[in-house]
Structure 1
Amino acid sequence: MKMRRRKKSWRELNGRQKVSLLVFAAGQLALLTAALMDLRKRPAEQINGSKGAWAAACFVNYVGPIAYFVFGRKK
């Protein structure tokens, strides 16, 4: 039988875990911001699909913004 791990609170994390979490969060926010800014300034004719759908997809952690940069923009 598997035992489920209890999620740790912020206070229970050690310094290295806190720094790692903050680095990953900053990376996610940077990707999200870059994707949304690019989506906003790019004309609809240069986007594969609808801008609204890509904007919503960008909020899927890491996968959304990366997918937008790889598949969402026309070359």
Structure 2
Amino acid sequence: MAARSWSELSTTQRRAVTALGVAEVALAVTAWVDLARRPARAVAGGKTRWAGVIAISWVGPILYFTRGRLPRT
């Protein structure tokens, strides 16, 4: 399957790509804000490490929310 340029996409496809991009950025920003506000003792592994992991596409923020946060004490 050959890659298609933006101009070759239909309006519906462009909207879907845009919506997915916005959702991905929103998820990452939400994770970074949570990480910044959360005390270091409530983060499994270290804040610097998780800041980098969050930058990895969809996977990073999901990993942070499922494995990086410890319960607040």
- TM-score using structure 1 length: 0.90
Match of 2:61 in 1: 65
Question: How many Å separate the matches in 1 of 2:19 and 2:58?
Answer: 13
Q: Which runs of 4+ in 1 moved over 3 A?
A: none
- 2: CA distance between counterparts of 1:20 and 1:61? 17
Partner Cα distance (2:32, 2:50) in 1: 9
- Aligned-residue Cα RMSD (Å) equals 0.7
Q: 1:9 aligns with which of 5, 12, 15?
A: 5
The within-5 A match list for 1:11-50 is 11-50=7-46
TM-score, length of structure 2 as denominator length: 0.93
Within 2, Cα distance between the matches of 1:6 and 1:62? 23
What whole-Å deviation, never above 9, does each CA across 1:32-63 have from its counterpart, x for those lacking one? 00000000111100000011110100011111
List gaps (5 residues or longer) in structure 2.
none
What residue number does 2:52 align with? 56
Matches of 1:32 and 1:18, distance apart in 2:
21
